[in-house]
Amino acid sequence: MEDLNRLDRISIHGINVLGHHGVEEAERKVGHRLVIDVDLFLDLAPAARDDDIRRTVNYEAVCNLVEEITAEEEFLLIESLADEIAAKVLERFAPEAVTVMVKKFNLPIATGVHSVGVEVTRYLRK
């Protein structure tokens, strides 16, 4: 496993999307508000040195990918959604690692629960 503390980080937090994910069919039909955070771990020195966007990851492209996956795919578990986002971020942008947090709100479970969340960290296979 890579030591993430030695890497730079791009943090994109609070991507608000409507997702149709859940164990219950009604959850998938109605949908839920999700908030997704993505942290990409990579060496940002070349981009900083050259002041060149081509040497980093475009934040808007990451947000668009997250929105696309959330809208077009359907999962029973937010664990699966987080894993799919992580896999596609690694594939498309090739950071050394990525952490994805998916938070789900307005749950049909015990009263007083504000949200539930799942966080996964995945590493680029070299």
Alpha-carbon gap, residue 118 to 83, rounded angstroms = 10
The token duo for 36 is: 């997704």
**Element (DSSP H or E) covering residue 72:** helix 59-72
The token duo for 25 is: 């069919």
Of 88, 103, 104, 126, which is the active-site residue? 104
Strand partners, 93: none
Alpha-carbon gap, residue 124 to 64, rounded angstroms = 21
Which residue type occupies 81? L
Q: Is 104 a catalytic residue?
A: yes
Q: Catalytic site residues?
A: 104
